[in-house]
Amino acid sequence: MSEKKRTQVDDIDRSMYDFHYDESDQEHLEAGLTPEIVREISEKKDEPEWMLEHRLKSLEIYNKFPEPDWGPSIEGLDMDNIVTYVKPPTEQQASWDDVPDDIKNTFDRLGIPEAEKSYLAGVGAQYDSELVYHSMQDSAAQMGIVYSGIEEALHDEKYEGLIHDHFMKLITPSDHKFAALHGAVWSGGSFVYVPKGTKLDYPLQSYFRLNAKGAGQFEHTLIIVEDDASLHFIEGCSAPKYNVANLHAGAVELFVGKNAHLRYSTIENWSKNMYNLNTKRATVQEGGDIEWISGSFGSHVGYLYPMSILNGRKARASFNGITFAGAGQNLDTGCKVVLNAPETSASVETKSISKDGGVSTFRSSIVATPKAEDSAASVSCQSLMLDDRSRSDTIPAMDIRCKNIDVGHEATIGRIGNDKVFYLMSRGMSEEEARTMIVNGFADPVSKELPLEYAVEMNNLIKLEMEGAIG
Amino acid sequence: MANETNPLLSIQGISASVEEKQILHNVNLDVAPGEVHVLMGPNGAGKSTMGHVAMGEPTYTVDSGKIIFDGQDITDLTPDKRSRAGLFLSFQAPVEVPGVPLTSFLRAITTGREGLDMKRKEFRKRIRSLADELDMDRAYLDRELGVGFSGGEKKKVEMLQLLLLQPKLAILDETDSGLDVDALSVVSHGMKLYQETCNGTLLIITHNTRILEHLSVDRVHVMVKGRIVAEGDASMIADIDQNGFEQFEQAAANAE
Amino acid sequence: MEARTLNNVSAMPAPTWHWLHMNDATVEVPEGLDAASDFAIDVAEGTAGAFDAAMAAAQEAWDAEHEGYEYQRNYTDEQAEKLGGTSLSAYQQGVDEVEASKDLARMFDMGMGGDATAYLREVAGTARVIEAKRGEHASASVRIAGLDGHANVAALDIVAAADSELDVCITVDSPTPGTGLTGSTIRVFAGDNAKVTITRVQTLDDSWIDLDDMGLFLGNQADVQINQTVLGAGKTYTGLAGDLRGTAANANVVTRYLGHGDQKIDFNYTLRHHGRKTTCDLYANGVLAGTSTKTLRGTIDLIRGAKGAEGKETDNVLLVDEGVHNKTVPTILCNEDDVMGNHGATIGHIRKEQMFYMASRGLSQKQAEAMFVSASLEDAYIEAPNDATREAVVRLGNKLVDGFGELVEDNEEELA
């Protein structure tokens, strides 16, 4: 087990994400998924009846859905062997001192408490399937902002109604197989409520850590940003490496009110045994906007397409994403946008990089309904192939059903020009340095949108992936 | 001298902006029928903007002032209405329109215009003779508008439209830029024809005096930083030729 | 014949979400159509079996050139192996399988594929052969007319030997009223240095369904130009697949279309780069009016080994009426690094700068839109390769634009 510290740039090494603690004193449910297990989950959580019904209905739908035939193979994911529910031996804490040492050490090493002190307005940390830490600055609480565990909020009379009205209304269990699975076994996650007119200047952050071997994480994030309010939410994910498949099938539902603003940033760095089948979706009302910043570096298989549904006049969406697929990774990422009101606009800019047999697929859909008159959408994607044993596919779909609209799309694929490498080497750089610099430059449009700490982490991840890229 | 009492085009106190950045500042400019005016100035002075604002390009917002053309206030008219009122703008960079043969385009823009809505045969004959007049290969008439045309051919197509539409007043926006000697002489020929056959009125936007050599210029306006800073007769051209625009730039600085 | 449903037609090689309903097309063949293969062709029959013979020879030559060559499957590292490899999608695994076979015939695809190619072959019977022998310059024209109550299909093998030039014009029209189906299924072999141009213009009335199925094979430095013009038919399905096998082979595909009324237009293009320095350009430009619907699947597939290949695709769609529906999915698949792939699409109303230019010449938006519709017909007339095609365009044009025929015929008189 490595003891390297995360914040030291020079020390960056993927093994620092790879430490893991003994899971012997945690309780495991039996592998496999039955209505009994689902009932047991619900009972343990002491949920309202409607939630149990929702879980059972979702399970039914899950069992009916075929596996997707268009994306990366999920044959390696034997659902019967996945321990779908792993409860850590702790209740949620509001002080790091009360978090058990091994879990706290995990987050320490990931630099979370430190970041909380320096620039975050609030932090939530999920360890396997339960939220273990949650706290928010007093100033934010005084503004009326709620940031708590979603299960906790579900047990609070003040919020149960809100949750009932929003929970899996945007991502319904019938959307796809893994949304149904999520509906059946979801556990943990965050609830954020930003009241009307409230603008939070500092980001809230949530960190997900999947520590148990062969486990699943199914957290649910529900964020409601009311009219004229503003929020930046950051999500980070990591897991140690095991040689059996882990599964992450979370769901993120974002409700953006009139003239409200939400920025949702993610750096996903799950370990390379993870099947990341995450679903994220936002609905935006009149004049509001959603900004997605999304970096996908980890996972063995990724299916990730944050969706923006623009339901109000002049609603806007932007998506800025980067995907780096290295050895053994098949990352199918992109986004979906639905223009469903007049004068809406969407802009999508993505980058993808493939190396050492990695497969990256950019997949998107832009749908403009007949209501989307006077709207505009632009999609631009660039793919970089770093060698000739990898793969990079671009599959962007556009479905346009109204007349007064401008939809533009452009994509390019290629490799790093030898002339650029030669130029940098002529100024004294090694080939590896030159290529790393070019790839970092390629990723720059995304990294410059991230908070500094995350931008540094992303550049380090790129550096790590580029090591030994020559010869 | 300009006919003070009855200008054909009268730009009155126009201020205009794009994306909240003001480009034109209280511009006044009158052009009488049959005259040749030149709007000069250094690069980025706002000359082209002036031409586009006169034609009604929606990108620009007119913040104040009005534009009177042929006795009618056209400030709020859409560009197609201004065109049909007899105003013409030759583009510095004409657009390409894939899928539309030049002939189809020319027919569409003459349709419904008084005196120009000619019979088909007559129309064909007319555009062929204009092509010949402008030393333009007739094959271009069947090509898609602008697609694969050289810079010179694009400008010839602008001249062809000028001669076909016979507007009352033509604004020529940097029609001479980037042309070789042969193309330049064709464009000059086109301008002359327009004056002779239609008793044309011209507002020529340029930062280069060469195209003016064979024209009798009535009045020169100098624009710097979105303001008209000097006006005078044709003798100003020789002066600018020798001394450049620097002499006016101080005036512009003072006006700010 | 019984009504038939042809499934999995014109499927894109790497599918996407099913809910978009873009992955493939389903063709409903109405019942009661009699099979026919009645079409006019103005050249003598070529050598029977010429296509298969050419492919067999190409395989031999390719094998000789590629002695010791093995296709490199997608690389996997040790950790991924423990999890069962890189978890390739069904499509990605399929590519590795097919490529590893080194079997050129197996890798030769037809653009419509699925049930459609089989159906068309069944209706048409034995393919007619149009041939240009080595060094020859030949041309042919083919006229397929709608036959009332029939599915009338031409099967053609177009074989251009090394160093030959071959131009083929295909007119698909319905000069007499009726309902039914027309179609063509065409295999094209362009040998080394051969230059092949195929122009297909379709001007059917709306009571017809048209199926246009084509597959291309290109040898070293072969140059294939395909011009497709779709102006008519209630439903049109066009599928084109091509194997750019030889070094520096080039394929250009230009598609022009005008959707009007309630028409449904479906295009599927797949060009697969195998040879080094191969190039392709897929260019589509069209207008959708009325309540017409268009789907375009365009795939450029840059296969490992195609060093220096460049592929480009463009779809420009002008929407001129409320109620039109456009679907475009411009795909690039790639597992080679030394390549360039580009695609672009613009979909919507007349672009701002174009509209200002046209407005400055006196056109309102409505007038400009009407001009685009009639211009696409005039363009087809101007580009028409022969009299038969011109006649067909005029016949359809007269139905859509008042006085269209007189308009363009004036042009003819003066040229004469």
Residue C221 has pLDDT above 50, yes or no: yes
Q: Where are the domains of chain A?
A: 14-416, 417-471
Average confidence (pLDDT) over B74-78? 93
Q: Which residue from A352, A217, A215 is spatially nearest to A277, judged by alpha carbons?
A: A217
Query: What tens digit of pLDDT does each residue of B1-42 get?
Result: 444 558 999 999 999 999 889 999 999 999 999 999 999 998
Least confident of A144-158, A423-437, C115-129, C262-276: A423-437
pLDDT of residue A93: 59
Q: Compare CB distances from C362 to B57, B84, B101 and report the shortest one's residue.
A: B84
pLDDT of residue A130: 61
When pLDDT is cut at 50, 70 and 90, the band that residue A84 belongs to is very low
Residue B65 has pLDDT above 50, yes or no: yes
Residue A132 has pLDDT above 80, yes or no: no
Alpha-carbon separation of residue B156 from A134, B41, B149, B188, C288 (angstroms): 71, 24, 10, 10, 31
The reply to whether B165 touches chain C by the CB within 8 Å rule is yes
What is the C-alpha separation between A70 and C91, in angstroms, rounded?
A: 8
Query: What tens digit of pLDDT does each residue of C162-194 get?
Result: 999 999 999 999 988 999 999 999 999 999 999
pLDDT of residue B217: 92
pLDDT of residue A2: 37
pLDDT of residue A436: 84
Q: What is the CA radius of gyration of chain A?
A: 21
pLDDT of residue A116: 60
Average confidence (pLDDT) over B56-70? 93
Residue C131 has pLDDT above 60, yes or no: yes
Chain A contact set for C23 (CB, 8 A): 70
Q: Compare CB distances from C16 to A363, A400, A415 and report the shortest one's residue.
A: A363
Helices (H) and strands (E) in chain A, counts: 11, 25
Displacement of CA A312 from its chain's centroid (Å): 25
Q: Which residue from B201, A124, A220, A354 is spatially nearest to C333, judged by alpha carbons?
A: A354
Whether B184 contacts B157, CB under 8 Å: no
Share of chain A above pLDDT 90, in %: 45
Chain A contact set for C327 (CB, 8 A): 397-400
**Helix B181-198 crosses helix B120-133 at what angle (to 10 degrees)?**
130
pLDDT of residue B184: 85
Residue A89 has pLDDT above 70, yes or no: no
When pLDDT is cut at 50, 70 and 90, the band that residue C74 belongs to is confident
pLDDT of residue A14: 43
pLDDT of residue A419: 77
Which DSSP string do the residues of A254-289 spell out, in sequence order?
EEE-TT-EEEEEEEEE--TTEEEE-EEEEEE-TT-E
Residue A198 has pLDDT above 70, yes or no: yes
Read off the pTM: 0.88
Q: Where are the domains of chain C?
A: 32-54+102-350
What is the C-alpha separation between C385 and C199, in angstroms, rounded?
A: 8
Whether C338 contacts C305, CB under 8 Å: no
Strands (E) across chain B are located at 9-18, 21-31, 36-40, 61-69, 72-73, 87-90, 97-101, 144-145, 169-173, 201-205, 219-224, 227-232
Query: For residue A26, which amino acid is it?
Result: Q
Strands B144-145 and A330-339: unpaired
Strands A86-87 and A27-28: antiparallel
Displacement of CA C97 from its chain's centroid (Å): 26
Tokens linked to C276? 């080094």
The reply to whether C107 touches chain B by the CB within 8 Å rule is no
Residue C306 has pLDDT above 90, yes or no: yes
pLDDT of residue A82: 53
Q: Which residue from C264, C269, C282, C144 is spatially nearest to C203, judged by alpha carbons?
A: C144
- List the alpha helices (DSSP H) in C327-403: 352-360, 365-383, 387-400
Is there a contact between C90 and A76 if contact means CB atoms under 8 Å apart?
no
pLDDT of residue B243: 85
**Nearest residue of B to residue C415, measured between CA atoms:** B124
pLDDT of residue A25: 44
A 57-116 residues inside an 8 A Cβ radius of C:
69-76
What is the C-alpha separation between C38 and C151, in angstroms, rounded?
A: 10
**Nearest residue of C to residue A71, measured between CA atoms:** C89
Average confidence (pLDDT) over A147-169? 91
- List the alpha helices (DSSP H) in C28-174: 50-65, 78-82, 90-101, 104-107, 114-124
C 219-258 residues inside an 8 A Cβ radius of B:
256
User: A with B: 3 or more CB pairs under 8 Å?
Assistant: no
Phi, psi of A226 (to 5 degrees): -75, 175
Q: How many CA atoms lie within 13 A of C342 on its CB side?
A: 10
* Three-state SS at A441: helix
Residue of C75, C288, C346 for testing the chain A interface, max A β-carbons within 10 Å: C75
CA dihedral A108, A113, A115, A118 (to 10 degrees): -140
User: What residues contact residue C152 under an 8 Å CB cut-off, 6+ apart?
Assistant: C36, C37, C38, C39, C144, C145, C146, C180, C181, C182, C183
Say what the ipTM of the complex is. 0.93
Q: Compare CB distances from A357 to C22, C76, C82 and report the shortest one's residue.
A: C76
What is the C-alpha separation between C235 and B208, in angstroms, rounded?
A: 56
Is there a contact between B121 and C410 if contact means CB atoms under 8 Å apart?
yes
The reply to whether B129 touches chain C by the CB within 8 Å rule is no
Average confidence (pLDDT) over C281-302? 96
pLDDT of residue A127: 64
Query: What tens digit of pLDDT does each residue of A100-121 get?
Result: 566 566 666 656 566 665 555 6
Tokens linked to B41? 């100035």
The reply to whether A254 touches chain C by the CB within 8 Å rule is no
User: What residues contact residue B235 under an 8 Å CB cut-off, 6+ apart?
Assistant: none
Query: For residue C156, which amino acid is it?
Result: L
Specify the DSSP class assigned to residue A29: P
Whether C31 contacts C3, CB under 8 Å: yes
Is there a contact between C332 and A411 if contact means CB atoms under 8 Å apart?
yes
What is the C-alpha separation between C311 and C341, in angstroms, rounded?
A: 5
Query: For residue B52, which amino acid is it?
Result: H
**Nearest residue of A to residue C324, measured between CA atoms:** A401
Q: Across chain B, what does the average pLDDT equal?
A: 89
pLDDT of residue A3: 38
pLDDT of residue C86: 85
Q: Name the residue with higher pLDDT: C124 or B122.
A: C124
How close C13 comes to chain A (CA, Å)?
10
Q: Which residue from A226, A234, A230 is spatially nearest to A201, judged by alpha carbons?
A: A230
pLDDT of residue A118: 56
What is the C-alpha separation between C227 and C334, in angstroms, rounded?
A: 26
Residue A87 has pLDDT above 50, yes or no: no
Q: What is the CA radius of gyration of chain B?
A: 18
How close C64 comes to chain B (CA, Å)?
42
Q: Which domains does chain B have, with CATH numbers?
A: 9-255 (3.40.50.300)
What is the C-alpha separation between C9 and C111, in angstroms, rounded?
A: 9
